[in-house]
Amino acid sequence: MPNKSPIYVWAFLAFATLASWGIGARDPLHALPLLVVMIAVIKCRLVIRYFMDVRHAPAWLRYSCDAWLLLNLAMATSAYWA
């Protein structure tokens, strides 16, 4: 196989999924739901950058995807602290 990086990315994503599920399954302390959403945003960014190959895309597309991720993170953060 020429390039193994999709497998490494997947392995990290699977680990992060299990970690955030483990966190979510317990009674959360105040910071834990926020941690869950941060992990989700990091996972999305990995899928976008590596699986979708956006890391090699023009700057406008990279920034748009990052902006969308930040928007969702900001919404979840402010909803959590409201």
Partner 1 sequence: MTVSARQSVPGGIDVWVFVLGDMLIFSAYFAAYLFLDRAPNRALFRESQAQLSQGLGLVNTLLLLTSSLFVALGIQAAKARARTAAARFVTLGAACGGAFLLVKSYEWTSKIRGGFTITTDAFFMHYYMLTSLHVVHVLVGLVFLAIVRRELRSPSVPRLELVDAGGVYWHMVDFLWILIFALLYLMR
Q: Which residues bind partner 1 (CB under 8 A)?
A: 1-3, 6-7, 9-10, 13-14, 17-18, 20-21, 23-25, 28, 33, 36-37, 39-41, 43-44, 47-48, 50-54, 56-58, 61, 64, 68, 71-72, 75-76, 79-80, 82
Tally of helices (H runs) and strands (E runs) in the chain: 3, 0
- Side-chain-side CA neighbours of residue 36 (13 Å): 17
Which has the closest alpha carbon to 49: 38, 63, 35, 34?
63
Which helix H or strand E contains 31, and what residues bound it?
none
